[in-house]
Structure 1
Amino acid sequence: MSGLSRTERAGCTKILKLMSKGDLLSLSDTVTNKMITVEDVAEAMETILSFTKHAEEFLRRKKVQRDLIFKYLAKEGVVMPPNSEKHQLVKRTLELWSSGKATVEDRDETRQRLPADTTSVSTNVKTEEGFDPLVLGQQFCQWFFQLLNSQNLSLGQQPQDWGPQHFWPDVKLRLLSRAGSEQMEEFLGAELVSLRLQALTREERLLLSPNLEAHGLKALASPHGLVLVAVAGTIHRDAACLGIFEQIFGLIRSPLEKNSWKIKFVNLKIRGQDALGGAEIAAPALTYNSSELQLLCS
């Protein structure tokens, strides 16, 4: 049997799911010395995992290419320099698995646990006593960016249930991008806002990786029930890091939909590499302070 822990097995499975069928069957032949013939992808994956003695052996296999590990880490929210060599990515993956911070359940299982029609990650968070907007902010960002990134077909994920149902009908999006020149776009209404945000990942093939550490995430609640969530992060396409983003969400509960939170407005600032002047962008910090966010609440 394999010597993989539950976390390692889950991680190896996610990397295998990024591989082509041909590479999977070939890798299965390699690990079993062609002693076992497999019929399909599922059987190949199970065989590879069963015959893998330890995680490092798996990651160092030739068929487990550098780009696959890079992509896996990006999905797990681990941002690595685009020019990282394979041995650095292997080391970081093993650290992630031993730290216990890697997600063990599959995205599809997570999806089944979230009702499809609402941002219901946070339905159980009470705005009354003991309500912590930061906890809601973290839950919301994990849910939102996983959902948005799943629309990027180059990641090979099953696109999740994105759509106007997550927004208030009069939602407003302000999109400010600086890459060379500065561009400001505004969109009004759930349908348009939903389509424009989806185009970032689907048409432009971007991957948005939020920084959910303390300096990358802020959240506060107004007395009127509006919760502001501000988050910074990095933007990637394939293995390249293109720049950073800052995003502010205004969230309001929908009493008609089991009190789930829906998005009332989105302000998104994107800065490309050239607009950053070589600044360090591994884990960007928010530039908004609490008083600026308070103004948005009023």
Structure 2
Amino acid sequence: MKKFYSVLASIAISFTALAQSHTIDVYPLMDASVYAGQTDNANGQANLVSGSDANGNQTYALMHFDLVEIPDGASITSAELVLQADNPDPSAVTYVIHEMTASWTEGSSNPSDPLMGGSASSGDVTYNNATHPNNSWPNGGNVEVAYKFAPIDVTGDNVSGSKTAITFNSQNFVTLVQTWADDANDNYGVLLKESTSGTTGNIREFYSHENNTGGAKPKLTITYDGDEPIDTTTTSIREDLVESKLSVYPNPAKSNIRITDIPEEVDQLTIMNISGQVVKVVNSTELNSNVVMLDVSDLTKGTYFLKGSENTIAQKFVVL
């Protein structure tokens, strides 16, 4: 009988360990703004911008979070996205978030005026293109065909002179984050949209992951039941991507990618999948110039990371 109870106790302890709760903070790998009033302008590096301009044209902020730290089989119990406004105004503006349904890329544009954006560079997301200059949104449309019409948080949240942060934590948002955790290929991020009806001139700026004065960059806090978070410090995927100098085009890609801006000190490139497993290596003999053409048609559809030697550089790309 003692042996029987001992077995039951062991099972209970094992179950408790498997159901352990963990909380992690995740920051964007990509965030950018697109402008209905300046359809070919871009903003990949400055403050995020969202709202309506003086003519009623919408500006949207896009954010993408990769959940590489969450282990397989995790059950998401809560998810909260917090954005900090850089220039709140006395009048309150209400915002909602929508689920993105198509892939896009953050480029290098860094406009002096985030409210207007600047000329798009190769790889930027714009109102007309998921990746400038040649990769349009689905069916040749604009960004408005690339997000679900129904918002994730129906009631929304507002920012004003006395309220500088907005928060989204609805059950619908928890469900969306669970979808991302279950399959990274379903993760295209979210779109921040003003929902204050019948008004114009309500553009607000929010700190981005590049422009994060006082640590105010967008933060997604996730609590889940499951195994310990996956340690990404050995590959430093997230931190390297923030500081990336490497260029990959086209992105997303179906067959070949063109890699440029390779620093002289890099003598090897490594491609890893979303789990950090190495799937392809480009050796020094192939890095005889600052431009490398690489066939990725043999990779399965999904998200990958291109890393330089000694973990010095990294870039994210998608294979369709």
TM-score w.r.t. the length of structure 2 is 0.31
More helix by share: 1
Relative contact order, CA 8 A, sep 6+: which one is greater?
Answer: 2
Q: TM-score, normalised by structure 1?
A: 0.33
